Amino acid sequence: MDLLQGSVLMAIKLIKDHSFQSSESGIKFIYNKSFNTSKALKLYHPSDFPSFDFSDSYMPEDYTKDISRRMHYAGFNFFNELDVSRKQYWEKAYFDLRNFVFEGNRKLVFKAVNKWGPMRFMADDNSSNCNIVLIQAVAAFNPWKGITFNTYAFTCLMRALSRLNYKNTAEKMVQCESLDRLFGNNFDVSGSFTVPASYTTSLAVLDTYFSKDCDILDEREKLILSELFGLGDKPLTSLEEVGKLLKLSKERIRQIQFIALEKLRKVLIPNNVV
């Protein structure tokens, strides 16, 4: 289970649904006993609902719930249909309705990202992640309960942002602790050095190991350490971001970071640089 799925499932616990089922196609639906009545098709037909232009506003709550009920009904029929062509019909109807609710409520993503102050500098990444959370929230929302979709989805989004913030903070703390072990207790979590006068010469020596002429570290190792620890007035960069830059996995970046730090320790400690 990934981070975003975990965030949604935590929020889902706020509500006890009648039944939450899933199929291999990725369709998730909530069962309601009205699905088995003779009026079900009339109530929940996937194409029988009034049009509404919500491009300049949020989708109204009653409209969201109406489309959501039809979506779950389509999922229920997909799950139980045996005829291939009819099954494809219900599958398309389900995803069309789900996407319709998603598009009508996308402004919730921007509301959540803008409200979450600690991570505004990552707004683009957060918006992408939150779009996934919102889609999952649409599928998990129970429109027969008393809670509004706006409240439910916003809770999912804020929980996801909270978890992402915790993950990013923890990752940067690990980076700073690694650098702290190399230089002593002169590196704080903000990414800046607190350098006593006695360390000026030591840091000047350290700079030589990142020069092009020094071959103790290869160019990739120099780049990775510089990016991860914000050396040379660079901002701190996450393992994942460096991995994307070099087209390597996050775990591989972590391994190279460890190897590079070990190389520096072997050189710096015997020479009393640190």
- Residues 49, 66 contacting (CB under 8 angstroms): yes
| Model confidence, pTM | 0.54
- Listed range (61-75, 215-229, 256-270) with the worst mean pLDDT: 256-270
The answer to the question of residue 187 being in a domain is no
Considering the domain architecture, whether residues 211 and 132 belong to the same structural domain is answered as no
Q: Which two tokens stand for residue 179?
A: 């650098």
Considering the domain architecture, whether residues 142 and 29 belong to the same structural domain is answered as yes
The continuous run of DSSP H or E covering 170 comes out as helix 149-183
Residue with tokens 């400690």: 269
Mean pLDDT of the chain: 74
- State the total domains in the chain: 2
3-state secondary structure of 193: strand
- Listed range (54-63, 161-170, 230-239) with the worst mean pLDDT: 161-170
Query: What average pLDDT does range 109-131 have in this prediction?
Result: 65
Considering the domain architecture, whether residues 159 and 205 belong to the same structural domain is answered as no
Beta bridge partners of 21: 29
Distance (Å, whole) CA 40 – CA 149: 22
Considering the domain architecture, whether residues 12 and 105 belong to the same structural domain is answered as yes
Distance (Å, whole) CA 122 – CA 3: 17
Considering the domain architecture, whether residues 41 and 115 belong to the same structural domain is answered as yes
Greater confidence, 49 or 224?
224
pLDDT value, residue 172: 52
- 92 contacts: CB under 8 Å, gap ≥ 6: none
Tell me: the pLDDT tens digits for 228-272?
Answer: 776 666 676 788 888 899 999 888 888 888 888 888 777 765 554
CA-closest candidate to residue 224, choices 179, 192, 265: 179
The answer to the question of residue 62 being in a domain is yes
The answer to the question of residue 170 being in a domain is no
- 104 contacts: CB under 8 Å, gap ≥ 6: 54, 58, 59, 63, 64, 67
The answer to the question of residue 215 being in a domain is yes
Domain that holds residue 254: 195-268
* Interaxial angle between packed helices 149-183 and 61-80, expressed in degrees from 0 to 180 and rounded to the nearest 10: 80
Considering the domain architecture, whether residues 136 and 201 belong to the same structural domain is answered as no
